[in-house]
Chains A and B, each alone.
Chain A
Amino acid sequence: MIGPSLSYALAGVALFALGLYGLSVHPHLLRKVLAFNVTGSGVFLVLVSLSQRDPGTPPDPVPQALVLTGIVVAVSATAFALALLRRLYALTGKTGLDDEPAP
């Protein structure tokens, strides 16, 4: 039988893989940033699923602290990437990293 923590962990791994796929196939930078966030959520879900292994015991606080820190990092990285992306678009009209012309 699959318990709740294991199903969270499996969903996290699936999100991680999905995000990696998105990061590699989409040329548009905004999609890449979004895919990065999906990947990150996958990792966080895996971490959260680790905090409660046996239903009877109190949850382990360490993974939750890690996830909080991880979210802070991910939010600042996303903000930074979006700022760079907007600047690039304002200067060149490009939305991707390769030299294709602006749509």
Chain B
Amino acid sequence: MPWMILIPLGASTLSFLLGERARWQLTAAAVAGQGWALAGLLMQVWEEGPQRHPVGGWGAPLGIDLRADGLSATMLTMTALVGGFVSVYALGCFSRDRAGGAYFWPLWWFLWAALNALFLSGDVFNLYVTLELLGLGAVALVCLGGEPGALVAGLRYLLAALLGSLAYLMGVALLYGAHGTLALDQLGLLVRPGIASTVAAALMTVGLLLKTALFPLHYWLPPAHGGAPVPVSALLSGLVVKASFYILLRLWFEVFPAALTPAWAQGLGGLGAAAIVWGAWHAFHQEKLKMLVAWSTVAQIGYLFLLFPLATSVAPAEAALAWSGGVYQALSHGLAKAAMFLAAGSMIHATGEERVESLDGISRHLPLTLFTFALAGMNLMGLPPSGGFIAKWLLLESALASGQWGWVAVLITGALLTAGYVFRVLRHAFLPPRPDARVHVLPGYMELAAFALAIGSLLLGLTATFPLTLLEVGAPFAGVRAMP
């Protein structure tokens, strides 16, 4: 388990020291090492159930305990898949653009280490530290270009991230003051309804919502995700926002279930519904392709939060459906949105223009990339047989089973709105090319890397049994089958 963190951390240091030299070899070795460590961990979790590892043999409370259950293993797998393919894409991307490339690799490996450490953390303070590492790495990646626009977006993101984590840390302080422990599982047994728990839950939730960019706290996301270099946008939208969502999941279903009333969950769901509509509306009206994809992230984050009203104060079977559906949405969106950003980046590179209008005729020149974009779009809309379909289907089934009809309407409206902005891009792509259009060629492996991610998101739909069963290992609603 510690290798999951040590390998990317080592790769970060080495890539900083080596610079341009041995980039391919180092990337290949580190990605392979990650795959090896992850496969071992998956086997362990699959066969023996949730795992624990006291770092350095110290053990809690003064040492740090790492832990892995089905949810962590699934998130780690998503990180490895997205990270691996984005690395391949970035090898091509930054070989042309040397200025940004010198710093991309150390920062990206550092970010990967932070993500893995976050998904393996078993106490609320370690989650805080990894969240800060993640935030610092992500902001540095946004500012990679160094132009004023990127700096403003980065600073806005940095301030939002710092504010969010301080609110979270204040919640940690209150929890420790009230219960004298930081471990997630012990807190879950100790937390009782009361003023301290309520204030702590409110502070932590608001801080994490700010980091996850849930409407109306999403203001920093579109400039940061839309303005960053293409591989960075893919990583931020696909992975980084999922990390704070993951902490929210842990807190709501493992620490605070006793302290939270259904009204809170309904409130989060309401914000999610607003995000779906608001984000999709803005995505539809963006002129620039990358901003369209960034606003689509705002909308898709909304779906994640439908999990909370659907899984709170209902029968366990329905709650399990909603919980799996929400996590599945995080997985499929992670793969699909990374694929979409990479495909958008390829199209922008090929045409040399950023506007959606300038994509006319791209279907002739980059058929594979356009297919990637379409597959990812299908996933976001939730059409079968994609992973997005399974996610939305689970949420829908849970909503129908518990009679919460309002959320059914939200889910259906959201799918239609998503179709609106995805087809806006596809329509331009299939128009005849403009006579003056010039197209730059792109290394084939970059197109293939994006395509592989899109295929991955499709496979999530076709082979849903394995991830769904893995998710149940150590899940809060364990023992309740959630098979489609």
Say how far A88's CB is from chain B's closest CB, in angstroms: 5
Contacts A32-B159, A43-B166: A87 and B173 contacting too (C-beta < 8 A)? no
Contacts A62-B61, A62-B176, A84-B143: A43 and B162 contacting too (C-beta < 8 A)? no
Q: Does A85 sit at the interface, judged by CB under 8 A?
A: yes
Residues on A with beta carbons closer than 8 Å to the beta carbon of B155: 29, 81, 84-85, 88, 97
Say how far B163's CB is from chain A's closest CB, in angstroms: 6
Say how far B211's CB is from chain A's closest CB, in angstroms: 14
A88 touches B151 (CB 8 A): yes
Contacts A36-B166, A70-B169: A87 and B158 contacting too (C-beta < 8 A)? no
Residues on B with beta carbons closer than 8 Å to the beta carbon of A85: 155
Q: Interface code B79-110, partner A: CB below 8 Å = 1, 0 otherwise?
A: 00000000000000000000000000000000
The stretch that binds A, out of B10-18, B37-45, B132-140, B252-260, is B132-140
Q: Interface code A1-40, partner B: CB below 8 Å = 1, 0 otherwise?
A: 0000000010000001000100100000100100010011
A77 touches B173 (CB 8 A): no
Contacts A73-B129, A73-B132, A80-B140: A23 and B154 contacting too (C-beta < 8 A)? no
SS class of chain A's interface: helix, strand, loop or mixed?
helix
Number of interface residues of A (CB under 8 A): 35
Q: Which of A29, A36, A46, A60 contacts B173 (CB 8 A)?
A: A46
Q: Which residue of B lies closest to A46 (CB)?
A: B173
Residues on B with beta carbons closer than 8 Å to the beta carbon of A81: 155, 158-159, 162
- Whole-angstrom distance between the alpha carbons of A43 and B146 in the complex? 33
Say how far A43's CB is from chain B's closest CB, in angstroms: 5
Q: Which of A50, A87, A94 contacts B176 (CB 8 A)?
A: A50
Q: Does A61 sit at the interface, judged by CB under 8 A?
A: yes
A66 touches B162 (CB 8 A): no
Say how far A50's CB is from chain B's closest CB, in angstroms: 5
B166 touches A65 (CB 8 A): no
Contacts A80-B136, A84-B143: A36 and B162 contacting too (C-beta < 8 A)? yes
- Whole-angstrom distance between the alpha carbons of A39 and B173 in the complex? 14
Q: Does B249 sit at the interface, judged by CB under 8 A?
A: no
Q: Does A57 sit at the interface, judged by CB under 8 A?
A: no
Q: Which of A23, A32, A73, A91 contacts B151 (CB 8 A)?
A: A91
Contacts A62-B62, A70-B169, A77-B136: A88 and B148 contacting too (C-beta < 8 A)? yes
A80 touches B170 (CB 8 A): no
Q: Interface code B147-174, partner A: CB below 8 Å = 1, 0 otherwise?
A: 1100110111011001100100110111
Q: Does B182 sit at the interface, judged by CB under 8 A?
A: yes
Q: Does B177 sit at the interface, judged by CB under 8 A?
A: yes
Q: Which residue of A lies closest to B166 (CB)?
A: A39
Q: Does B125 sit at the interface, judged by CB under 8 A?
A: yes
Residues on B with beta carbons closer than 8 Å to the beta carbon of A42: 170
Say how far A84's CB is from chain B's closest CB, in angstroms: 5
Residue ranges of B at the interface with A (Cβ–Cβ < 8 Å): 61-62, 125, 128-129, 132, 136, 139-140, 143, 146-148, 151-152, 154-156, 158-159, 162-163, 166, 169-170, 172-174, 176-177, 180, 182
Question: 5 pairs across A/B with beta carbons < 8 Å?
Answer: A36-B166, A46-B174, A62-B182, A63-B176, A70-B128
* Given contact pairs A62-B176, A88-B152, a sample of 11 additional A-B residue pairs in the complex whose CB atoms are under 8 Å apart: A20-B163, A36-B166, A40-B166, A43-B169, A43-B170, A61-B62, A62-B62, A66-B173, A77-B132, A84-B143, A84-B155
Across the A-B interface, give the 5 residue pairs with the lowest CB-CB distance, nearest first: A88-B151, A50-B177, A73-B132, A46-B173, A92-B148
